[in-house]
Amino acid sequence: MDALFGGLAALADPGLLFLIFLATLGGVVIGALPGLNATTGAALMLPFTITMDPIAAIAILTTIYCAATFAGAITAILINTPGTSASATTCLDGYPLAQRGEAGRALGMATISSTFGGILSVLCLMAAAPLLARMAYNFAPPEYFALTVFGISMLATIGNGTPMRNIIAGLLGILLATVGKDLLTTVERFTFGFNELSEGIGFVPVMIGIFGISELLVQAETLAVEKRRVIMKAIKLPSRDDYRKVWRTILRSSGIGTFIGILPAEGATVASMIGYNEARRWSKTPEEFGKGAIEGIAGSEAANNSATGGAMVPTLALGIPGSPTAAVILAGLMVHGLQPGPTMFTDQSHFAYAIFWAMLLVNVMFIFVGLFGAKLFARVAFIPIPILWPIVFTFSIVGAYALDQSMLDVWIAIGAGIVGYFMRRFGYSVVPLAIGLILGGMLEKRLGQSLIMLDDQWWLMFTRPLALLFFVLTFLALFGPFLWKRFVKRPSAAATRE
Q: pLDDT tens, 380-404? A: 656 676 776 777 788 778 777 866 7
pTM confidence score? 0.69
- Residue 3: predicted pLDDT: 61
The whole-angstrom separation of Cα 88 and Cα 71 is: 12
The whole-angstrom separation of Cα 248 and Cα 112 is: 14
What is the residue-level pLDDT of the chain in tens, covering all 498 positions? Answer: 566 666 677 777 788 888 888 888 888 888 777 666 787 788 888 888 888 888 888 888 888 888 888 887 877 777 666 666 677 778 778 888 887 777 778 888 888 888 888 888 888 877 777 776 666 666 778 887 887 888 777 777 665 667 788 888 888 888 888 888 877 777 888 887 777 788 788 777 887 788 778 877 877 776 655 555 555 555 566 778 878 888 888 888 888 888 877 765 556 766 787 788 888 888 888 888 878 888 888 888 888 888 887 788 778 777 777 777 888 888 888 888 777 776 777 677 777 778 888 888 888 887 777 667 666 665 665 667 677 677 778 877 877 786 677 888 889 889 988 998 998 888 888 878 877 887 788 788 888 888 888 888 888 888 888 888 888 888 887 777 677 777 766 655 555 555
CA distances from 476 to 9, 90, 151 (A): 44, 33, 13
b (16+ CB within 10 A) / e for 366-383: beebbbebbbebbebbee
Helix axes 294-317, 240-262, angle to 10 degrees: 30
b (16+ CB within 10 A) / e for 151-185: bbbbbbbbbebebebbbbbbbbbbebbebbeeeee
- Residue 6: predicted pLDDT: 67
Phi first, then psi, for residue 181 (nearest 5°) are: -85, 130
- State the first-to-last Cα distance of the chain, in angstroms, to the nearest integer: 66
Q: Which amino acid is at 208?
A: I
Q: Which amino acid is at 453?
A: M
The whole-angstrom separation of Cα 85 and Cα 270 is: 9
- CA trace torsion 461, 462, 466, 472 (10° rounding): 130
Q: What does the domain layout of the chain look like in residue ranges?
A: 2-484
- Residue 272: predicted pLDDT: 80
At CA 51, angle to CA 48 and CA 56, rounded to 5? Answer: 80
The whole-angstrom separation of Cα 310 and Cα 253 is: 13
